[in-house]
Structure 1
Amino acid sequence: MTLTRGRFISHEYDRMIVRFSMQDGAREVLCAISTSAMDDLEPGPRVRPEQREAQFTRLRDRIEARAASKYSATEFEGTPPGIVLRGIDFRP
């Protein structure tokens, strides 16, 4: 099944990630992207912590497309299993 847009969960400053979800039908798939990966996707100065949700929203289509690709390839990490995106995931 194809993943569809889920929800923004949170910016975790301590872990330097943004947590979000995607949907596989009724199943919620937990995902995360490193803030450094988001900064690499968006040229310019690094954003402040309170701006991370807005940055995620601007980059959401690219982030979710890559998460869907990793999901299709069954590249899960963690407990419970989810999708984790890093800068290397966006390199050609």
Structure 2
Amino acid sequence: MALTSGRYIGHEQDRGIVQFSMQDGGKEIACAVSTSAMDYLERGPQARPEQREAQFTRLRDRIEARAASKYRATEFEGTPPGIVLRSIDFRG
């Protein structure tokens, strides 16, 4: 089954990530993208903390496409297992 959009969970400034989820049918998949990866995708100045949700929304299609790719490749991290995206995931 293909992953679909889930929910925006929030920005964790101390960890430098934005947490979100995706859905595999009825199963919620925990995901995170680093704020440095989002800044890399926009190729502009670093976004301020209060801008992270809007930045995620602008980049959501690209972020979710890469998360789906890592999901299909079973590239999970952490406990419980989830998808973590970093700048390197968007290069090349």
- Normalised by the length of structure 2, the TM-score is 0.99
Q: Per the alignment, in what secondary structure is the counterpart of residue 76 of structure 1?
A: coil
The whole-number CA distance in structure 1 between the counterparts of 2:39 and 2:45 is 8
Match of 1:38 in 2: 38
The whole-number CA distance in structure 2 between the counterparts of 1:43 and 1:62 is 14
Match of 2:64 in 1: 64
The whole-number CA distance in structure 2 between the counterparts of 1:71 and 1:45 is 30
Match of 1:54 in 2: 54
Give the drift of 1:7: 0.5
Q: Per the alignment, in what secondary structure is the counterpart of residue 53 of structure 1?
A: helix
CA RMSD of aligned residues (A): 0.4
The alignment-based identity, stated in percent, is: 79
- What runs of 5+ residues in structure 1 fail to find an aligned partner? none
Runs of at least 4 residues off by over 4 Å: none
1:29 matches 2:29: yes
